[in-house]
Amino acid sequence: MKNLIVNADDFGRHELINRAVEISFNKGCLKSATLMAGGIAFDDAIRVAKNNRGLGVGIHFTLANGNPVLPPENIPTLVTAEGTFHADYVAFLKRYFRGKISLVEVRSELAAQLQKIRRAGLTLTHFDSHQHLHHIPGIIEIALDIAAAENISAMRAANTKIFDGELDSIGKFVGRLGLSSLAKFAAHKAHNKNFSTPEHFTGIVAGESVSENFLVKLLDDLQDGTTEVMLHPGTDNKILQDFCRWEHNFEEELTAVTSPRILSLLAEKNISAINFSELRSIK
């Protein structure tokens, strides 16, 4: 049996990301998205989720490159002087490994993010995190505790393949190798607490977009079990690249997951497009 979970990260970050999630769910193979509780388009994302039954929604825990849910004065080690999270995972990890991040504050903020989504009336299918920070030792234990307390029982383990996408720098090689190692550690912790994870993970983690050709090759070689594909689709590159300060091809990923060629291949190869809520039943 072969299953595919296509998951859109950053749901709620911008309305143009939300539009892409809605289009990809209704016209493509995307059945899952993870919601940023601190995103400026959070309320719009809740509307999209409630109006599109069958879209599995998880929480996209965020500790960098975004906005907190708690007042900044309650989490001083997690935020800048402007009250936002630090710029990216590199800035966060530099502070973390120097002992400048309070794990008490991490627990409080992540719990507040989850409760905000719960109050909005969604039942969550799983969790992952912005820039993969839930894989970090010390943080993974907190994320698992908070998720388990809310009866969430599935998690992303971003065991990325070293050679997915371009490998044109030593930084990309080291980054993918490091993430893969941390993902194995996090998956071990998750499985010990009876969490489910897809057996396989893909999605280009160094910034390049997932193209139609990438998905064609993936489906041709898809392994047995469940494979998660991580995406960041959007409807307008110029606006989203400026807003996110990220030169990502959001539109290419939207095109890829709504491609008639991809939908035909899924049917031809008898591959089921599912969301994380279905993981437990197929184990």
Is 56 in a helix, a strand, or coil?
strand
Q: Are 54 and 278 in contact (CB under 8 A)?
A: no
Q: Which pTM does this prediction carry?
A: 0.94
The two beta strands, 200-202 and 2-11, are unpaired
pLDDT in tens, 227-273: 999 999 999 999 999 999 999 999 999 999 999 999 999 999 999 99
pLDDT of 149 higher than 70:
yes
User: At residue 174, does pLDDT exceed 80?
Assistant: no
Into how many domains does the chain fold? Answer: 1
Contact 3, 226 (CB under 8 A): yes
Do residues 130 and 64 lie in contact, with contact meaning Cβ atoms separated by under 8 Å? yes
In this structure, are residues 183 and 198 in contact, taking their beta carbons and an 8 Å threshold?
Answer: no
Give Cα 47 distance to the centre of its chain: 19
70: CB partners within 8 A, 6+ apart: 108, 109, 112
Write the CATH number for 217: 3.20.20.370
Structural domain span for residue 35? 2-282
Quick one: which H or E segment has residue 8?
strand 2-11
Intra-chain end-to-end CA distance of the chain, in Å: 11
Average model confidence (pLDDT) across the chain: 93
Contact 199, 2 (CB under 8 A): no
For residues 140 and 152, give the distance between their C-alpha atoms in angstroms, rounded to a whole number: 14
Contacts of 109 (CB under 8 A, 6+ apart): 63, 68, 69, 70, 75, 78
Residues 68, 155: Cα–Cα separation, whole Å: 21
Residue 164 reports pLDDT greater than 60: no
pLDDT band at 168 (very low <50, low <70, confident <90, very high): very low
Q: Tens digit of pLDDT for each residue in 51-98? A: 999 999 999 999 999 999 999 999 999 999 999 999 999 999 999 999
